[in-house]
A and B are shown apart, each in its own frame.
Chain A
Amino acid sequence: MRESMEFDVVIVGAGPAGLSAACRLMQQAREKEQELTVCVVEKGSEVGAHILSGAVIESRAMDELFPDWKEMGAPLNTPVTADEVYLFKSDTAAKKVPNALIPKTMHNTGHGLNNYVVSLGNVCRWLAEQAESLGVEVFPGFAAAEVLFNDDGSVKGVATGDMGITAAGEQGPNYMEGMELHAKYTLFAEGCRGHLGKLLIEKFQLDIHADTQHYGVGLKELWNIDPGKHRPGLVIHGSGWPLNTGGSYDTTGGFFLYHLENNQVVVGLIVDLNYTNPWLSPFDEFQRMKHHPVLADHLAGGNRVAYGARAITKGGFNALPKMTFPGGLLIGCNAGTLNFSKIKGTHTAMKSGMLAAEAVFEAITAGDKSSKELSSFNDKFKDSWAYDELFRSRNFGPAMHKFGPILGGAFNFVDQNIFAGKLPITLHDEKADYAQLKPADQCPKVDYPKPDGRLSFDKLSSVFISNTNHEEDQPCHLKLKDASIPIAQNLPLYAEPAQRYCPAGVYEVIEEGSGPRFQINAQNCVHCKTCDIKDPAQNITWVVPEGAGGPNYPNM
């Protein structure tokens, strides 16, 4: 029998949604002078270690959670001062898009908006400090590996993973059994494609009334740049080359470059995972993209500090599953509350966590002993600004998928700027991302340039600066349902795309005398979840490795 601990609320994941929920729960408990036990488990070695986001965040949810966050020292230090949008026509040509032609949701200045360029990892570190000082137990280094159920089928809590299991699956010298964490309510805030969230969506059929979910993979680097070029608060977005150069090269996505504080700049690329050409490599697209003069101008002479990647849940309103089930809730990107039309998800993730906290606290103070389904959350959510803005943006992604970036962009301009998202039509996009790949022999191969070691780099030196580490002697956390599929099926059909879509070099096909062999370098994994999403055979399942493994992102 595993040991167990009892809490009122257990939260899985110390990201913006989970930590906002934790803080809001304790704030209410303090107001009502009520005892409440809240625990947050986080698979990263510390809070923020696995957080990767642009990020420009809207302060709306933070304003509500901690009205005096500024005085409290929240690391929202760099207000957005200027907004630029580019369309890259080629590897050298670019067109700056006039502000008036940009969908309103993408504006980061004006309109009474308070947007900040931040390190979301540092925002989470700060939120965790607040949560702890409010009395929340935050446990980094502990991965929730399993959902526990009551006899009536409701969620009872989670179990943390065993530690010290060897690669062969045996108990090693420092073996420690996982622990059961029982709660009246369990909030799942694992972020995009959480592996427990995925199971819950399936078990409780949370997505039967929702459109198919869509994803992107975001790749990001942090740079120290020449102080002479530093313009704190400058925000640049754009699309076009290299992902979309017309013809069959029509992948959607977009890049960003934000000027933070301390002469630092973040640069990144989001590649929509509905791309069709299996030869495409998001990592190499990102590397070559930095050579575009518009971006190279900022980066040249600087040096790269950190690298990382993370999948993004971007289906928005239409793909949003039901967020409640008996005994718990899915919040933030684990459900999919990101507003892609704003390219922002932190404020809506935080808000979903705060609303969940309110619904849970009401239920607990009403004396609920059993783990009910909190339908009150759905009413709160529907009445919130988060729901309103997701509803208004519901057509943004589908329009891009349906009409392509140019006409789709035009539709979005009309939809967002003239009708403020209230057009009485809803577009749907029902084809799953993994089903989009075309056979490799029908697609043009992509000849990526060699990295120059100044602006562009290879995969391994990149993974090196994500500070990724996994205890070596442990079972592989990337599970194949059928070990023969990569070589027998994916290789002939799609030239095994895992080699290219994985931004950390986890998957390799190695030619040996006896033929090709599929190798999984699980210790490189940056926990982005792209393989779980994009494998055409849906054969790869990402499960949590031993707690504290994975990247150690600083200031990301």
Chain B
Amino acid sequence: MKLIVSVKRVIDYNIKVRVKADNTGVDLANVKMALNPFCEIAVEEAIRLKEAGVASEVVVVSIGPTAVQEQLRTALALGADRAIHVETDELPEPLNVAKLLAKVIEAEQPGLVILGKQSIDSDNNQVGQMLAALAGRPQGTFASEVKVEGGKVLVTREVDGGLRTLSLDLPAIVTTDLRLNEPRYAKLPDIMKAKRKPLDVKTPADLGVELKQHITQLKVETPAQREAGIKVDSVDALIDKLKNEAKVI
């Protein structure tokens, strides 16, 4: 069975995010970038399925400028077999990403697609669900356990108040939650080998997808600084403030 894993290049989770002076976005100049942690978990899960003999090939896909090849190489060093880079100037919005991935799936015919549940930069949590709809395949989101058994995948999902296990027909779309696994470190010899693993570059046109813009980002702002609170000396004063100043009662 072939597995497809999509990965995204995002700002490293250790970095304090800084908004550009003109409020057009986040300042990424010379800032450390990394594999999105949820995508890293997706890669790890795929490699484990391959090591367990369930999967025969792991293909990683990323969409964006040339720089995303760095993250594809990281995934290859972790154990993926080959990579597909869909080259775009910008990081496209979720629906475009889902459309591009749907075309990749159409061409590759994988048995299972694993994605991170969301990226830590835009936090949309949409691509997996959109992809399932576009591909007309079942979806198991927020997976904390994945088991492949007899043509089905059992996905344990973290839901409010407990765990819910679904049985999905393959091919299926699975998105990962944080507790699914703890990703491994890449080994030095594997990082060297990853440089020679196949990496195909495609354009949206090659895949027959026209990127459309549905969302316009108006402004990015730093959250307002919280002002220091005050102490009131009596309950009456508190009620007065709530009533007349905050106007909440």
Kindly state the separation between the CA atoms of A263 and B187 in the bound complex, as whole angstroms.
41
A554 to B191, Cβ gap below 8 A?
Answer: no
A45 to B12, Cβ gap below 8 A?
Answer: yes
Quick one: closest B residue to A173, CB to CB?
A: B182
- Partner pick for B29 among A160, A263, A554, CB 8 A cutoff: A554
Interface flags for A250-265 (1: CB within 8 Å of B; 0: not) read 0000000000000100
Q: Given the known A-B contacts A45-B12, A467-B14, A552-B12, are A176 and B184 also in contact in the complex, defined by CB atoms under 8 Å?
A: yes
Kindly state the separation between the CA atoms of A121 and B188 in the bound complex, as whole angstroms.
23
Residues of A within 8 A of B14 (CB): 45, 467-469, 552
A555 to B29, Cβ gap below 8 A?
Answer: yes
B187 to A179, Cβ gap below 8 A?
Answer: yes
**Which of B15-23, B110-118, B143-151 lies on the face that meets chain A?**
B15-23
The answer to the question of B64 belonging to the interface, with a C-beta cut-off of 8 Å to chain A, is no
Residues of A within 8 A of B185 (CB): 163-164, 174, 176
Residues of A within 8 A of B21 (CB): 224, 263
Residues of A within 8 A of B30 (CB): 48, 119, 121-122, 125, 554-555
A174 to B29, Cβ gap below 8 A?
Answer: no
B68 shortest CB reach to chain A, Å: 15
Q: Given the known A-B contacts A160-B188, A174-B184, A176-B184, are A554 and B31 also in contact in the complex, defined by CB atoms under 8 Å?
A: yes
The answer to the question of B242 belonging to the interface, with a C-beta cut-off of 8 Å to chain A, is no
Residues of A within 8 A of B94 (CB): none
Could you tell me how many residues of chain A have their Cβ less than 8 Å away from some Cβ of chain B?
32
Quick one: closest A residue to B13, CB to CB?
A: A469
Residues of B within 8 A of A305 (CB): 18
Residues of B within 8 A of A5 (CB): 188-189
- Partner pick for A139 among B16, B184, B191, CB 8 A cutoff: B191
Kindly state the separation between the CA atoms of A46 and B34 in the bound complex, as whole angstroms.
10
Kindly state the separation between the CA atoms of A224 and B247 in the bound complex, as whole angstroms.
39
* Interface size class, chain B: 20 to 34
Q: Given the known A-B contacts A46-B32, A465-B16, are A142 and B188 also in contact in the complex, defined by CB atoms under 8 Å?
A: yes
Residues of B within 8 A of A176 (CB): 184-185, 187
Would you call the interface of chain B mostly helix, strand, loop, or mixed? loop
B183 to A174, Cβ gap below 8 A?
Answer: yes
Interface flags for B1-40 (1: CB within 8 Å of A; 0: not) read 0000000000010111010010000000111101000000
The answer to the question of A447 belonging to the interface, with a C-beta cut-off of 8 Å to chain B, is no
Residues of B within 8 A of A121 (CB): 30
B183 to A137, Cβ gap below 8 A?
Answer: no
- Partner pick for A552 among B32, B183, B189, CB 8 A cutoff: B32
Quick one: closest A residue to B189, CB to CB?
A: A5
Residues of B within 8 A of A179 (CB): 187-189
A45 to B184, Cβ gap below 8 A?
Answer: no
Kindly state the separation between the CA atoms of A416 and B182 in the bound complex, as whole angstroms.
59
The answer to the question of B238 belonging to the interface, with a C-beta cut-off of 8 Å to chain A, is no
Quick one: closest A residue to B31, CB to CB?
A: A554
Kindly state the separation between the CA atoms of A342 and B165 in the bound complex, as whole angstroms.
67
A3 to B32, Cβ gap below 8 A?
Answer: no
Most buried by B among A48, A160, A164, A174: A174
Residues of B within 8 A of A174 (CB): 182-185
The answer to the question of A457 belonging to the interface, with a C-beta cut-off of 8 Å to chain B, is no
Find residues 12-57 in chain A having any chain B CB closer than 8 Å to their own CB.
45-46, 48-49
Kindly state the separation between the CA atoms of A472 and B29 in the bound complex, as whole angstroms.
28
B182 to A139, Cβ gap below 8 A?
Answer: no
A330 shortest CB reach to chain B, Å: 23
Kindly state the separation between the CA atoms of A261 and B29 in the bound complex, as whole angstroms.
13
Kindly state the separation between the CA atoms of A181 and B191 in the bound complex, as whole angstroms.
14
Quick one: closest A residue to B20, CB to CB?
A: A224
Extra contacts, 6 of them, besides A160-B188, A554-B29 (Cβ < 8 A), are: A5-B188, A179-B187, A179-B188, A469-B14, A554-B32, A555-B29
14 A-B pairs, CB-CB below 8 angstroms?
A125-B30, A137-B192, A174-B182, A176-B185, A176-B187, A179-B188, A179-B189, A224-B21, A468-B14, A552-B15, A554-B15, A554-B30, A554-B32, A555-B30
